[in-house]
């Protein structure tokens, strides 16, 4: 079992203040499996482990040292279930955050998985990580992972799924398909390193990624024998005298943590990485007797080889203490370990950094990612499964085809990622052709009746670009039928074979702004009588000025009006999916170099619900770096209400909620009112606020009734849901 820790905000900083924010306490190396990739060679035959009294003494020392975050791992920590629960309760009672890593063997049946997860949640566990890969699959199927994921979803316990991979990672496609059915689970990848039992694996089976800093060395490990090492796993078998063996069981914990934080050698591993340290060593003029290998099979291989040479270690300590490298490491630490830095924030890594590389690659038609993208896509905690889902939801499979042979992607991305995009691109091409054919049919119907239509949202930009265009396919076709003649067009399309559209999760009947959807050529067609629902406050008359022909009877709005509609539409759909909106806005700005920002400003000024629009513009400029003129941004409101809208929008737009879709649906009623800029807009939107609020409340009451039990009264449930609504709202708007 491992304990991840970091200091409290004390009046006086602890003596090890600086680097040590995570650590590990290994309760046992025992495991119910003998996996050939295990870095500490755990297995069923191991009997030695710290006594419960010794573990509890260590935990009390951590609490006294000001530790605030704990990760329990092993071996298999749940072989000592009662101790895990007791330690979790003890740590939580002192305000310490607790997480755990397990192989999930205890989830073989759904009832047992639910029992254990409820106990862990009740004890105060904040995060559960399950390790599963082809090595674990030899001993158990995927059912335990599925059962535990369902239990975590029911208990609102966040869950990670950690997968170690080799050079041949074809099995990850199966894991990816399974993962898509798991609620609110993050997928993470780690390369098998030649340490522990994995030393005996064929080197040709291993991936050879070497560059980059080592985040694991930020986490000292208190092992099952009481020793303290520089990291959890690879350092386990280091002998006395190795820089990776930081302290002994008899030493005070604060002294060991101070040593771990202040050793220049370990700081070099954390900030520069083993590969850079090897290059620095080989560039030294003095002889250290160190002979590098002809090839290394990963950064752990380099690290352990360096640590085995005392003269090399001492030479590196001196080199890393010199002003130039000391200053570089200080700068890197400020960047990497700042709480505000996005590379250290897992949510921003997966929601902003990685998608941003692919978004701009798609917009530019790039064939290569920039070299510095390796610092992002090379990270183990990048969730390739969720990234694939984000890109596919945004329709970016076709625009990204030119990037799929990029060397960085071939090195780091699992095969299923590239295959998912390739398959979706083929389907997207067919869908785009079907959409063009459907629109030509509709154009003919419009000509027969003698009416015009305006193609709305992103298809108006992409459908009629060149055949070589890499634009994404439309999700559906939205047409505003002018002159109030939408019913005639609908009747004529039905006579030609169009049928009523029925899609799960959509409004399948008529709405205040469009007729009942139709299906034509396999695509959903919405015939609008107005651009949007009346409560949204869009300046529709102004948006329809200057419409431009696409076909004889089909028009599109000016690009400024299209951008306003796209951003506003994202806003009243809870700012999701954000990446699709970012792509569409980026495509508009690239396709129309003479884009008129003054005209857009006039449209926004007439839009009563413009706060949501301004929130999106802020995200596109600040988070994605879109070239929005400063003069235009200066028109953005800066009051308290706008700041609240900005925070909620960022939460949903970037998918920072930690769930697969990143949304908190009970915020939608608040957004309806908050996004309105004028009193008249608030009055108009109030009816929609009431409708959505009670719709969501009714849904949550039904779910709560089923999950909590029939002994709770409806008033109890209502009070519970309202408290949760207020708590979530306050948490998000507080930033």
pLDDT in tens, 391-411: 988 888 888 988 988 988 887
* pLDDT at residue 75, as a whole number: 87
* pLDDT at residue 448, as a whole number: 93
Residue at a domain's end among 321, 356, 390: 321
Alpha-carbon span 652 to 616, nearest angstrom: 11
User: Based on the domain organization, do 169 and 221 belong to the same domain?
Assistant: yes
| Mean pLDDT on 550-578 | 86
Q: How many CB atoms lie within 10 A of CB 269?
A: 29
| Mean pLDDT on 205-229 | 78
Residue 17 in any domain: the answer is no
Q: Is the dihedral of CA 662, 666, 670, 672 positive or negative?
A: positive
* pLDDT at residue 692, as a whole number: 73
Identify the domain containing residue 708 by its residue range: 577-735
pLDDT at position 491 over 80: yes
More confident position, 582 or 97: 582
pLDDT at position 138 over 90: no
pLDDT at position 65 over 80: no
Residue 523 in any domain: the answer is yes
CATH number at residue 172: 3.20.20.70
* Out of 34-48, 50-64, 379-393, 492-506, least confident range: 492-506
Alpha-carbon span 324 to 207, nearest angstrom: 32
Q: What pairing do the DSSP bridges indicate for beta strands 523-528 and 477-481?
A: parallel
| Mean pLDDT on 74-92 | 92
* pLDDT at residue 667, as a whole number: 66
| Mean pLDDT on 2-10 | 33
Cis peptide before 75 (omega within 30 of 0): yes
Q: How many CB atoms lie within 10 A of CB 191?
A: 20
* Out of 184-198, 246-260, 276-290, 582-596, least confident range: 184-198
pLDDT at position 381 over 60: yes
* pLDDT at residue 163, as a whole number: 83
Cα dist from 201 to 195, 356, 443, 675, whole Å: 10, 37, 64, 58
Q: Give the model's confidence band at 575: pLDDT under 50 very low, under 70 low, under 90 confident, else very high.
A: confident
Residue 584 in any domain: the answer is yes
**H helix or E strand, kind and range, residue 526:** strand 523-528
| Mean pLDDT on 579-583 | 89
Contact call for residues 192 and 201 (beta carbons, < 8 A): yes
Using DSSP's 3-state secondary structure scheme, residue 636 falls into: coil
User: Based on the domain organization, do 486 and 360 belong to the same domain?
Assistant: no
* pLDDT at residue 555, as a whole number: 93
Alpha-carbon span 644 to 398, nearest angstrom: 36
Alpha-carbon span 551 to 493, nearest angstrom: 18
User: Based on the domain organization, do 81 and 162 belong to the same domain?
Assistant: yes
| Mean pLDDT on 590-605 | 93
Q: Widest CA span of the chain, in angstroms?
A: 91
Alpha-carbon span 565 to 632, nearest angstrom: 17
User: Based on the domain organization, do 96 and 198 belong to the same domain?
Assistant: yes
Percent with pLDDT over 70 in the chain:
84
Alpha-carbon span 586 to 588, nearest angstrom: 5
* Out of 21-25, 338-342, 415-419, least confident range: 338-342
Residue at a domain's end among 557, 587, 616: 557
User: 431 exposed, middle or buried (CB, 10 Å; 0-12, 13-18, 19+)?
Assistant: buried
pLDDT at position 10 over 60: no
* pLDDT at residue 342, as a whole number: 45
pLDDT at position 110 over 50: yes
| Phi, psi of 520, deg, nearest 5 | -135, 125
Using DSSP's 3-state secondary structure scheme, residue 190 falls into: strand
pLDDT at position 17 over 60: no
Alpha-carbon span 203 to 180, nearest angstrom: 32
Residue at a domain's end among 413, 448, 475: 413
Q: Give the model's confidence band at 476: pLDDT under 50 very low, under 70 low, under 90 confident, else very high.
A: confident
Closest listed residue to residue 660, CA positions, set 190, 180, 128, 173: 180
Percent with pLDDT over 90 in the chain:
25
Q: Give the model's confidence band at 339: pLDDT under 50 very low, under 70 low, under 90 confident, else very high.
A: very low
| Mean pLDDT on 458-478 | 66
User: Based on the domain organization, do 268 and 347 belong to the same domain?
Assistant: no
User: What length is written for the chain?
Assistant: 735
* pLDDT at residue 469, as a whole number: 54
User: Based on the domain organization, do 109 and 234 belong to the same domain?
Assistant: yes
CATH number at residue 542: 3.30.460.40
Beta bridge partners of 187: 161
* pLDDT at residue 576, as a whole number: 67
pLDDT at position 529 over 90: yes
Q: What is the pLDDT of residues 713-733, one digit of tens each?
A: 777 777 777 777 676 666 555
* Out of 11-20, 21-30, 266-275, 387-396, least confident range: 11-20
| Mean pLDDT on 664-679 | 69
Residue 396 in any domain: the answer is yes
* Out of 101-115, 304-318, 536-550, 634-648, least confident range: 634-648
Residue 567 in any domain: the answer is no
pLDDT at position 315 over 50: yes
Residue 603 in any domain: the answer is yes
Most confident of 106-120, 133-147, 202-216, 429-443: 106-120
User: Based on the domain organization, do 134 and 229 belong to the same domain?
Assistant: yes
User: Based on the domain organization, do 302 and 375 belong to the same domain?
Assistant: no
Closest listed residue to residue 548, CA positions, set 476, 469, 461, 468: 461
313 secondary structure, DSSP code: H
Alpha-carbon span 6 to 23, nearest angstrom: 8
More confident position, 46 or 629: 629
User: Based on the domain organization, do 159 and 247 belong to the same domain?
Assistant: yes
User: Based on the domain organization, do 409 and 436 belong to the same domain?
Assistant: no
* pLDDT at residue 12, as a whole number: 33
* pLDDT at residue 463, as a whole number: 67
* pLDDT at residue 728, as a whole number: 63
Residue 601 in any domain: the answer is yes
* pLDDT at residue 191, as a whole number: 79
Cis peptide before 628 (omega within 30 of 0): no
| Mean pLDDT on 683-694 | 75
User: Based on the domain organization, do 486 and 608 belong to the same domain?
Assistant: no
Q: Give the model's confidence band at 659: pLDDT under 50 very low, under 70 low, under 90 confident, else very high.
A: very low
Contact call for residues 67 and 20 (beta carbons, < 8 A): no
pLDDT at position 20 over 60: no
CA dihedral 397, 402, 406, 412 (to 10 degrees): 0
pLDDT at position 662 over 60: no
| Phi, psi of 546, deg, nearest 5 | 75, 30
More confident position, 565 or 574: 565
Q: Tell me what the pLDDT averaged over the chain comes to.
A: 81
17 Cβ contact partners less than 8 Å away, ≥ 6 residues apart = 7, 261
Alpha-carbon span 243 to 268, nearest angstrom: 12
Residue 326 in any domain: the answer is no
Q: What total of structural domains would you count in the chain? A: 4
More confident position, 426 or 205: 426
* pLDDT at residue 627, as a whole number: 92
Three-state SS sequence of 237-250: CCCCCCCCEEECCC
User: Based on the domain organization, do 352 and 470 belong to the same domain?
Assistant: no
């Amino acid at each position: 079992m491992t304990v991840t820790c970091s200091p409290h905000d004390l009046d006086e900083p602890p003596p090890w203040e600086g680097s040590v924010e995570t650590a590990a306490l290994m309760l046992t190396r025992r495991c119910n499996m003998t996996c050939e990739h295990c870095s500490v060679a755990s297995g069923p035959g191991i009997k030695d482990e710290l006594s419960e009294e010794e573990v509890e003494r260590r935990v009390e020392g951590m609490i006294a040292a000001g530790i605030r975050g704990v990760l329990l791992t092993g071996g298999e920590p749940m072989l000592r279930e009662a101790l895990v629960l007791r330690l979790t309760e003890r740590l939580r009672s002192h305000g310490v955050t607790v997480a755990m890593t397990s192989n999930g063997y205890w989830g073989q049946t759904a009832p047992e998985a639910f029992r254990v997860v409820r106990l862990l949640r009740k004890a105060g566990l904040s995060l559960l990580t399950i390790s599963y890969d082809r090595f674990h699959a030899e001993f158990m199927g995927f059912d335990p992972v599925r059962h535990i994921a369902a239990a975590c979803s029911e208990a609102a316990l966040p869950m990670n799924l950690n997968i170690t991979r080799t050079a041949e990672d074809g099995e990850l496609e199966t894991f990816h398909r399974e993962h898509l059915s798991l609620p609110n689970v993050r997928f993470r990848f780690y390369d098998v390193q030649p340490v522990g039992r994995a030393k005996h694996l064929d080197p040709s089976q291993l991936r050879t990624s070497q560059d980059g800093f080592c985040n694991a060395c930020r986490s000292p490990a208190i092992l099952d024998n009481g020793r303290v090492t520089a990291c959890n796993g690879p350092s386990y078998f280091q002998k006395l005298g190795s820089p990776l063996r930081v302290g002994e069981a008899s030493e005070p914990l604060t002294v060991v943590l101070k040593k771990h934080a202040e050793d220049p050698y370990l700081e070099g591993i954390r900030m520069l990485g083993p590969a850079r340290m090897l290059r620095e060593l080989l560039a030294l003029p003095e002889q250290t007797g160190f002979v590098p290998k002809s090839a290394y099979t990963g950064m752990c291989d380099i690290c352990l080889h360096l640590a085995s040479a005392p003269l090399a270690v001492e030479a590196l300590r001196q080199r890393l203490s010199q002003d130039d490298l000391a200053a570089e490491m200080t700068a890197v630490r400020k960047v990497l370990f700042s709480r505000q830095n996005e590379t250290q924030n897992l949510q921003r890594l997966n929601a902003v950094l990685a998608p941003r590389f692919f978004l701009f690659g798609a917009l530019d038609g790039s064939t290569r990612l920039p070299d510095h993208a390796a610092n992002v896509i090379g990270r183990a905690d990048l969730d390739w499964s969720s990234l694939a889902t984000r890109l596919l939801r945004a329709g970016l499979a076709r625009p990204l085809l030119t990037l799929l042979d990029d060397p960085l992607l071939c090195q780091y991305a699992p095969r299923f990622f590239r295959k998912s995009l390739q398959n979706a691109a083929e389907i997207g091409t067919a869908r785009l052709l079907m959409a063009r054919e459907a629109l030509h049919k509709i154009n003919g119907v419009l000509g027969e009746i003698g009416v015009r239509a305006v193609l709305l949202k992103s298809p108006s930009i992409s459908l009629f670009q060149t055949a070589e265009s890499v634009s994404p396919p439309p999700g559906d076709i939205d047409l505003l039928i002018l002159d109030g003649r939408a019913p005639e067009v609908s009747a004529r399309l039905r006579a030609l074979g169009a049928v009523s559209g029925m899609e799960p999760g959509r409004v399948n009947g008529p709405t205040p702004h469009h007729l009942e959807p139709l299906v034509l050529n396999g695509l959903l067609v919405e015939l609008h009588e107005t651009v949007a629902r009346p409560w949204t406050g869009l300046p529709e008359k102004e948006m329809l000025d200057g419409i431009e022909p696409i076909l004889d009877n089909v028009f599109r709005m000016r690009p400024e009006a299209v951008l306003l509609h796209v951003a506003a539409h994202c806003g009243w759909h809870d700012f999701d999916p954000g990446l699709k909106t970012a792509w569409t806005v980026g495509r508009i700005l690239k396709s129309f170099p003479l884009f008129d920002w003054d005209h857009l400003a006039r449209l926004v000024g007439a839009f009563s619900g413009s706060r949501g629009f301004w929130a999106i513009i802020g995200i596109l400029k600040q988070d994605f770096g879109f070239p929005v003129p400063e003069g235009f941004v200066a028109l953005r409101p800066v009051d308290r209400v706008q700041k609240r809208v900005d925070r909620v929008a960022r939460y949903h737009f970037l998918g920072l909620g930690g769930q697969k879709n990143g949304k908190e649906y009970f915020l939608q009623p608040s957004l309806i009112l908050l996004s309105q800029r004028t009193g008249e807009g608030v009055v108009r939107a109030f009816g929609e606020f009431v409708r959505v609020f009670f719709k969501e409340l009714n849904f949550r009451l039904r779910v709560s009734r089923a999950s909590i039990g029939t002994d709770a009264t409806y008033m109890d449930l209502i009070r519970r849901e309202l408290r949760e609504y207020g708590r979530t709202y306050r948490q998000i708007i507080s930033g």
